[in-house]
Amino acid sequence: MKQLLVRWLVLALGVLLATKLVSGISCSDGTTLIVVVLLLSFFNAILKPVLLLFTLPFILLTMGLGVILINALLFFWVGNLVAGFHVASFWSAIGGAVVVSLTNLVISVITRGPPKPPKAPPRGDVIDI
């Protein structure tokens, strides 16, 4: 549950940054931001895997850049569905998707702990031939 709340907070931060940095994206208030985060989370959990599966050849041909288009499409759909959250164009949606993705990347790098040392092989009665 804690990890889900952290993901929602990071997504909310990304959407909030997108509204500040990308022209054409606006959010009217905090309640709208919460609805946007919940809807984006739902779309990412349900629709995104299906879209990734059907567009896999395109994603492979574009070396992963197709994923940004899928994220932008989901961002654009949320902009059309939620009153008070406005995404002016698909280009704005691409900018918003990039900002949200970069926010997720930066926060995950910052919050990631130090790497764990490799485990030593078990010592015991091993017969080598």
Non-local CB neighbours of 68 within 8 Å, separated by 6+ positions: 94, 97, 98, 101
Non-local CB neighbours of 58 within 8 Å, separated by 6+ positions: 66
pLDDT at 7: 86
pLDDT at 118: 81
**Phi, psi for 25 (deg, rounded to 5):** -120, 130
Query: What tokens appear for 53 in the block?
Result: 């599966």
Q: pTM of whole model > 0.95?
A: no
Which SS3 state, helix, strand or coil, does residue 97 take?
helix
When computed from its CA atoms, the radius of gyration of the chain, rounded to whole angstroms, is 20
Per-residue pLDDT of the chain (129 residues; tens, 9 = 90+): 888 888 889 999 999 999 999 999 999 999 999 999 999 999 988 988 898 899 999 889 988 888 899 999 999 999 999 999 999 999 999 999 999 999 999 998 888 877 788 887 666 666 666
pLDDT at 128: 60
- Give the C-alpha separation, 120 to 117, whole Å: 9
Q: Label residues 29-59 b or e (16+ Cβ within 10 Å = b).
A: eeebbebbbebbeebeeeebeebeeebeeeb
